Each structure stands twice: as C-alpha cells, then as structure tokens.
Amino acid sequence: MAETILAVDFGTSNSLAGAWKDGHRIEALPLDPTAIDPTLMRTLLYFPDEDRCFYGTEAIGQYLQHEMEGRLFRSFKTHLPNRNYLGTVIGDRILTLENLVGIFLLEMRKRAESHLNEPIEAAVIGRPARYSMDAASDNFALHRMTKAAQFAGFKRVEFVPEPLAAALDMRRQLTEEKIVLVGDFGGGTSDFTLIRIGPESFKKEHVLGIDGCPLAGDALDSLFMSHKLNTFFGATAEYKVSLGRNRMRMPLSIMERLNRPAQIVHLREPDTYNFIREIRKGALSLEDRANIDRLFLLIEDQQIFSFFEQIEKTKRVLSESEEGSFVFDYPGLEIGTEFRREDFHAWALEVRASIFKALDQCLGQAGIDESKVDLVCLTGGSAKVPMIAAELERRFGPDKMRTQAHFHSVLSGLVEACALSPFDST
C-alpha cells in the first residue's frame, strides 16, 4: 500500500492541508474546527509564555483572553529569505525562524494525522515562485523551509511552486488544450505560471514559464501605515539626545518595523523599545511626545494585530468603493481618517510595477505574446484589488479572465501534485 502524502499550502496569512491516500484525493482537511471555515487555519502563533503555544483561530482567542500579553506572530513566512532575521527569544527559550515555521508545520501535521488516523512522513509543500528577487536569498529561504519541514517530522518533502499547483487545479476543468496564465496573489508573494495544459497527462515540459515577486497583500497593507497612519505614532517626530545639539527625526529603521505586519511585533524587543523611550524623552514638541506615547500604547497593550486587521478591512472596502473610512477606537488609540482609492493606487505604483515586471518576465521565458494566452486564472485574495484586476483585464481582455477558489485552488493542485510525483515508498 502506497504511503499517504500530505499536501501543505503554508501561506503568509492562511494555511491549508489535503492528502493523497490509497490513490484517492482527500480535499481540504478541517484543521481548525473553531474557524468560520475549518479548512482555513490562520498562520498565527501565540506564545503566552515560553512553554505554551496556540495556533490559528485559537491563537487569536487566547491572545485576547490573556489580555494581549505574550507574543503573537503573524506573517513570519516573509522572513524566510532574510539572512538578518535569525529568530526571537521568548523568556529563556531561543526560537530560530526555522523553529517558528517548524512548530506551525508540526501542528498542521499532528492535526492531519489525527483526522486521517495514521502517521504521515511525506509531504508536498507549496512554495512561492520566488521568496526573493535575489537568487541566493531565494535558495536560502528554501533551505530554511527544508529545515523547518524536517523539524516538523517530515522525512520526505517535495516543494512545488504555488502558481504551478494552481495551474494543475485548473487542468482538471479543461476539456481541450489551452495556454493558461495563472496568477496567484497571496499575502506575501505574487506568482505567475504560464502553462500549456489540457485533459491529457501533465508533463514538466508543459510549464512554459514561472516567475514572481515577494510583494502582495502585506506590502499593500503596509502602504496605509507608511503613507498616512504612522504619523499618529511619531513617524515625523523630532528629538534631541541628552547634551546633544542636533535635531533628529524618528529613525527609519523603527518606522520600517512599524510599517510592516511581519516586523512590527519586534518593536517590543528590549533594545528597540528602550531606544524609543530615549527618543520620547528628547521629543521637541508636546504633539511628538503624545504620538510616541500612542506608539507605546500600541506596543504595550498589544494592539498591533488588531490595528493591521482594521487596515486589511479598509483595503477590502477600497476594492468595492472609491473611498473608505479607517476607524480604530481602542481607548487612547482613537484614530479616524479617510482613504481614497485614487491615493492608494498612487502609493502602490512601485508594488504594482514589481508585480507586473514578474508577469512580463514569465511571458518572456516562454517567448509568448499576451495575445497567445487563452485563459488567465486568478487566485488569492489580492487578485481582487482593482488596480491588479484592471491591469490584467487591459492586457488580456475580460473574456479570458477566470477566478478560482481564492484559498483552495493552490491546495487542490498540491494534492494533484502528490499523485503526479509520488515518493518512493521503499
């Protein structure tokens, strides 16, 4: 009997798992029974202390129940290509990034084993087309993922590009051969696969091009903070150090952490936290001091996660409307301001350019003109952002556009990959 293979879609925001067992597909497993959709497990780790960890929806509930004390980690997948990010310390426990990812993958494996009632040692795991635009950093990220999978107890692992997985899912819906462009827009990466597919058996040479960039939903969320909201937290604050004469601005390194969902949790680290305290002491105006106090409240009362959740909601509103309100009403952090889709799109020009440069490179690999593409299949929540959807329609025409299940198409393709590339069970 062939061994069961776990298909793992480890995402920046959400993670899913399916399986290939005894020659049959097992679609998305209910890994998070308390979630609205039990097959979607939020990619969250919460440590109330160094000895306990909670995952997914329960991580949010426990985080609130513990009055937001402890450490909540989100978007930690985005650190994989960053050689400067080694990990973190919780109490006396040192956790490398490989440990953090491995702890989450281990929990996914345990829950899958419980549901399937058998041990699992083999996995097909999705990976972005590129973790980084730098080839060395991309390879380093894949090495880290391999170590994390080993930490999670997988003895045999195969990595499959996520846009290729989405294309394999699309293949099951076709009755004739087509040239298909798949765009997978997640929380951390935007990925493209150009593939010649149809109902016949899949072969590797059917893949005509794969490319991507490490910018997607989180990068778009950070624009709201970096262009407007961070001013409420001292982004423009001026200060002088003790006995110093020079006027200085809030350091860019601190604001970069504030602006990014994956980085902001590290403002609580002692060296950074104490440095902000010194800036507050030397603040040159009452307004600057009040804004830095607001930053301390954001950190100390653990409102970071909730704040970025509200940013995400505002982004979704702007997908449907020309204007949207941002309202955060936590005591002491009451912030209300308006955003316009027009401004958001202007801020996002650089992100947009990087995304579509990756698309151009994907087409260039294949030497195929846009007009030769038969279908454009989109997956991932960021595919709904109007500036992305509109540009794709402009290039390929609305009649070619197809939208797949936003969260499940990659997983479905990974299950298909389990069948196409079985492990040697000897």
| Neighbouring-strand partners of residue 209 | 194
Instruction: Classify residue 343 as exposed, middle or buried by CB count within 10 Å of its CB (0-12, 13-18, 19+).
Output: middle
Query: What's the confidence (pLDDT) of residue 159?
Result: 95
Q: For strand 156-161 and strand 122-127, is the pairing parallel, antiparallel, or unpaired?
A: parallel
Residue 124 within a domain: yes
Q: What is the pTM for the complete model shown?
A: 0.74
The torsion angles phi and psi of 94, rounded to 5 degrees, stand at -90, 125
The answer on pLDDT for 110 being more than 70 is yes
Rounded-to-integer distance, Cα 322 and Cα 343, Å: 10
Query: What's the confidence (pLDDT) of residue 87?
Result: 86
| Neighbouring-strand partners of residue 21 | 24
Query: What's the confidence (pLDDT) of residue 207?
Result: 87
| Neighbouring-strand partners of residue 89 | 94
Question: What digits encode the pLDDT tens for the residues 234-249?
Answer: 999 998 877 667 888 8
Question: What digits encode the pLDDT tens for the residues 409-423?
Answer: 889 989 989 988 666
Question: What digits encode the pLDDT tens for the residues 123-181?
Answer: 999 998 888 888 899 999 999 999 999 999 999 999 998 888 888 887 777 778 889 99
The answer on pLDDT for 63 being more than 80 is yes
Residue 208 within a domain: no
Residue 66 within a domain: yes
Query: What's the confidence (pLDDT) of residue 193?
Result: 86
Query: What's the confidence (pLDDT) of residue 425?
Result: 43
For residues 353 and 171, the model is more confident at 353
Query: What's the confidence (pLDDT) of residue 426?
Result: 37
Highest mean pLDDT, choosing among 11-15, 260-264, 417-421? 11-15
Residue 314 within a domain: no
Question: What digits encode the pLDDT tens for the residues 274-295?
Answer: 888 888 888 889 999 999 999 9
Rounded-to-integer distance, Cα 14 and Cα 24, Å: 25
CA angle 376, 309, 323 (to 5 degrees): 70
Query: What's the confidence (pLDDT) of residue 423?
Result: 63
Query: What's the confidence (pLDDT) of residue 404?
Result: 64
> Residues near 70 by Cβ (< 8 Å), separated by ≥ 6?
46, 47, 48, 49, 63
Residue 153 within a domain: yes
Query: What's the confidence (pLDDT) of residue 169?
Result: 83
> What mean pLDDT do residues 5-26 have?
93
Question: What value does the mean pLDDT of the chain take?
Answer: 88
Highest mean pLDDT, choosing among 92-96, 241-245, 376-380? 92-96
Cβ proximity of 207 and 233 under 8 Å: no
Domain assignment of residue 66, given as a range: 5-174+406-420
Q: How confident is the model at residue 114 (pLDDT cuts 50, 70, 90)?
A: very high
SS3 state of residue 347: helix
> What mean pLDDT do residues 21-45 have?
93
**DSSP 8-state secondary structure symbol assigned to residue 33:** T
The answer on pLDDT for 122 being more than 50 is yes
Query: What's the confidence (pLDDT) of residue 422?
Result: 60
The answer on pLDDT for 391 being more than 70 is yes
Residue 72 within a domain: yes
H-helix or E-strand containing 403?
strand 401-403
Residue 232 within a domain: no
> What mean pLDDT do residues 385-412 have?
84
Residue 224 within a domain: no
Q: Which of 35-49, 289-303, 350-364 has the lowest mean pLDDT?
A: 289-303
Q: Which percentage of the chain shows pLDDT scores above 70?
A: 97
Total count of domains within the chain: 1
Question: What digits encode the pLDDT tens for the residues 69-78?
Answer: 888 888 889 8
The answer on pLDDT for 326 being more than 80 is yes
User: What are the Cα distances from residue 347, in Å, to 160, 213, 241, 344?
Assistant: 33, 18, 33, 5
Q: What CATH number corresponds to the domain at position 415?
A: 3.30.420.40
Rounded-to-integer distance, Cα 186 and Cα 170, Å: 18
> What mean pLDDT do residues 379-404 have?
85
